[in-house]
Structure 1
Amino acid sequence: MALSERSILRDSVDVLRITAGFVSLARTTKFCRCCGLEQWQEDLPAVQAMGNALQAAQKALHDIENRSAPFSQMTQVWNNFFIVYVHLFRYHSRELTGSGCDKGQVQNVVIDKGIECGMLSPAQVQELKSLII
């Protein structure tokens, strides 16, 4: 049974909240392995890309919810989530786990909702699952 646009929007807003929480945890860490630095720096390209992706997802969801953007932009929202999670779990996995992050929540909520909503490609699902292990 296909989900309604309203259901997909609601699930996507939930994923945005979860994603923002994980990004917030990553920002409290003292070491960023992607950059090899001893502290989080907002001006680094990888960090900026992750922040920009999260902001773009938030804005697009807001615009879709207010009907000022077409629902077709939802695909880009999920592509932005994918960018954020690839960065987080490739470079901040140890820090997130140490902060109490439940990788199972990513599997059970983010990936499963992405599949259910038809917003993550099989290749994206495979890459995310490989990073969670």
Structure 2
Amino acid sequence: MENKSDVEEHMKAHNIHWKWHDDGAMTNWTVLPAMLKYRGDWVWFTVPHANNNSYMKNNPSWVDKDLPDHLYPQQTYYGDGTVIELEVLQHIRETIWQVAVGFPLQKGDLLVLNNIYCQHARLSFTGKRKLAVVLAMQDQDYPED
């Protein structure tokens, strides 16, 4: 994007809030619900544990950085803007690991997931691999009941 007005139009179109700083940098944020009604079921559809700066602070690329929490590439808060306690984030992380299921994929395997019903990720890996990923968007709403 060429200028601030183009950026601001993009932000408005995607319901993203922003703030310009004196040095020309910008901070942006979105406010999203933690729960989503999908095909009549309420589902947890958020990742505050992975988008929180406590996750980034343990990443080797960020471990030695001394930044205010809100200036990390990502940070999460409760809907009212208060900080999510580390104990709550850890509880979410532990719960996710407790219900996690692994798939040892082999060459030629195809794994299809519903992104709303199934949180997904990849574990670390050494060696050579190639993953092909396709994301399909639905263009219809489903009835809530």
TM-score, structure 1 as length reference: 0.29
More strand per residue: 2
Q: Relative contact order (C-alpha < 8 Å, sep 6+): which is higher? A: 1
More helix per residue: 1
TM-score, structure 2 as length reference: 0.27
